[in-house]
Amino acid sequence: MFESVWKAYGRQKVLFLFLLPALVYVIVFNYVPMYGVIIAFKNFNFSKGIMGSEWVGFDNFGRLFQRGFLRVLRNTIVISLLKLIFVFGGSIVFALLLNEIRTRWLKRVVQNISYLPHFLSWVIIGSILVEMLSPSRGIVNQLIEHFGGTPIYFLADKTWFMVILILSDIWQSIGWGSIVYLAAITAIDPQLYESARMDGANRMMQVFNITLPSIMNIIIIMLLLQIGNILNAGFDQIFNLYNLKVFEVADILDTYAYRIGLEQGDYSLSTTISLFKNVVGLALVLAFNKIANRFGHTGLW
């Protein structure tokens, strides 16, 4: 194996040189910090350091399941599944709809407008939503009052909070998420569509019999990546939108770890939460990759 790698390096030195900065970045910021995982198995004391702190084995995992963890885990899974259905699925539908636009300039305009929200941070989006949905000065409630309705405190209502959470994520992510699928659609052989039209297939039939089957492998790969992040429900978004009134449905693993680690100084338990997330994510990716391969689709490997 090493001999083949060395031969490949000899043939493609320039390409490996271009790869070097990315490789260094991954090692420094992804692999070196893995040393800190040891904290999950220790009673970490900042003054003693990682190696000097007392080894407690799996005691932190026992503590984890005794502190309202199941409620936080439930919230994380529910929010992640809703985003998987509406944001991930919405990106595919949006890409299919964009592909059906025949006027090129209109297609480019729609694409560019849909991409823009991705470049706004959740701090900005959260501030805009808070102002727009304010029960006293928000434009939405002003319109509700204008038509004779009663103002609604959207971000303090559990049901409305979930709706706002999903809709804002769709608005922010759906355009950017559709890029991969649009690229895959453009790679489909146009002759397939010409043959289908000659056989009398309408646009809907072409979508379900040509477009979707042709990009199914890409969909499976992107789905696997999303499943690996199933316990990452979106810290930035929720942290900038939630409040005490919606804690019961909005508190997720990341916000829980933030409070335990940075606010309460319990770094051991915070690291345990992160390790739990990563292990579960890896297990899910391995399981669903095997299922995808068994059904004849190309997985991650």
Chain centroid to CA 206: how far? Answer: 30
Give buried/exposed letters for 189-216 (b at 16+ CB in 10 A, else e). Answer: eeeeeeebeeeebeeeebbeebbeeebe
Please list the helix, strand and coil fractions of the chain in percent, rounded to the nearest 5, in that order.
75, 0, 20
Q: What is the rounded distance in angstroms from the CA atom of residue 286 to the CA atom of residue 126?
A: 35
Q: What pLDDT does residue 2 have?
A: 63
Has residue 11 got a pLDDT over 80? no
195-209 pLDDT, tens digit each? 888 888 888 888 888
Q: What is the CATH number of domain 68-294?
A: 1.10.3720.10
Averaged pLDDT score across all residues of the chain: 86
Q: What is the rounded distance in angstroms from the CA atom of residue 289 to the CA atom of residue 301?
A: 8
User: Stretch 246-263: mean pLDDT, rounded?
Assistant: 88
Dihedral of the alpha carbons of 162, 165, 168, 172, in degrees to the nearest 10: -140
Q: What is the rounded distance in angstroms from the CA atom of residue 36 to the CA atom of residue 124?
A: 32
134-193 pLDDT, tens digit each? 888 889 889 988 888 888 888 888 899 999 999 999 999 999 989 999 989 988 888 888
Percent of the chain at pLDDT exceeding 70: 95
Q: What pLDDT does residue 152 have?
A: 87
Q: What pLDDT does residue 148 have?
A: 86
Write down the residue that tokens 């899974």 correspond to.
Answer: 77
| Whole-structure pTM value | 0.85
Has residue 234 got a pLDDT over 80? yes
Write down the residue that tokens 């944001």 correspond to.
Answer: 87
Domain definitions of the chain by residue range: 1-57, 68-294
By the 8 A CB rule, do 242 and 161 touch? yes
Chain centroid to CA 192: how far? Answer: 33
